[in-house]
A = this chain, B = another copy of it.
Amino acid sequence: MTSGADHRTGPRRRGSELEDAILTAALDELTEVGLAELRMERVALRAQASKASLYRRWPSRLELAMAAVRHAFPDLDAAADTGSLRGDLLGLLRGVADQLAGPAGQALAAVLSESLLDPARAGRAGAPPGGTTLRALRLVADRAVSRGEIDPARVTDRRLEAGSALLRHHFITHGAPVPDEIVVAIVDEVALPLLTGDGLWSSRRPAPEEYARSSSPSRRHDEVSRHARCPHPSS
């Protein structure tokens, strides 16, 4: 039995180290063979772990696959503090776009494809991928509140998720990679104004000089100049 042997050949790992190894192996398998062909045994072999250590954590391959996708997507660590809400949102959604363009995106496509055809089964298999992104978005919003950039009364989970929903919608209907100008437009037209209430972040926005004049006094100068350097949204 290969699954018995693995445990002895590799170093003894426990907890999050072992979990990381299994989820990374699952993502690699998922990308190579797809969800329909994903086998617990192959993942165990690849991670040099016992099959029991997989089944203990994830009773089925769908649960394992969803955990692998969640594991690959940006979490709290990815929500780097850039000093402004716009910078943080751009950083976070660019991170998601990067993941969508790689193996995690292929794995997510396989998982979403299965959950579309059998939503009840997907529901039983655990929270949908995207929960870690929401946690990161909440952190970004909390920082913006403490900077005084936004009113906490404006922040809701649904508003925080609007940007990533549009990004995922683009991914589902057009595939990857999602072009960077789309990510920028999603932030400037939707994600940011939903939280700031600032209508100036529109695709038909005024020229930078005009923008600086009409901008509220509380807006930070670095945001205005960073904004002026951004490519114009394509649509």
Contact = CB atoms under 8 A, between A and B. Distances in A.
A172 interface: yes
Given A123-B175, A175-B120, A189 B159 contact: yes
A154 B199 contact: yes
A197 B194 contact: no
A157 B235 contact: yes
Nearest to A110: B117
A128 B174 contact: yes
A156 B203 contact: yes
A33 interface: no
B197 A199 contact: yes
Interface stretch (A5-13, A21-29, A163-171): A163-171
What is the copy number of this chain in the assembly?
A: 2
A210 to B, nearest CB: 13
A79 interface: no
Contacts of A168: 165, 169
Interface in A181-221: 185-186, 189-190, 193-194, 197, 199, 202-204
A113 to B, nearest CB: 4
B112 A151 contact: no
Contact of A166 (B123, B161, B174, B186): B161
Interface residues of A, number: 46
A1 interface: no
A19 to B, nearest CB: 23
Contact of A112 (B122, B161, B172, B174): B172
A84 interface: no
Interface of A: 34, 109-110, 112-117, 119-120, 122-123, 128, 130, 151, 153-154, 156-159, 161-162, 165-166, 168-169, 172-176, 185-186, 189-190, 193-194, 197, 199, 202-204, 233, 235
Kindly list the 3 A-B residue pairs having the minimum CB-CB distance in the complex, ordered from nearest.
A119-B175, A128-B173, A165-B169
24 contacts: A109-B117, A109-B119, A112-B172, A113-B114, A115-B172, A115-B175, A116-B172, A119-B174, A119-B176, A123-B175, A130-B173, A153-B199, A153-B204, A154-B199, A156-B235, A158-B185, A158-B186, A158-B189, A158-B190, A159-B189, A161-B166, A162-B165, A162-B190, A193-B194
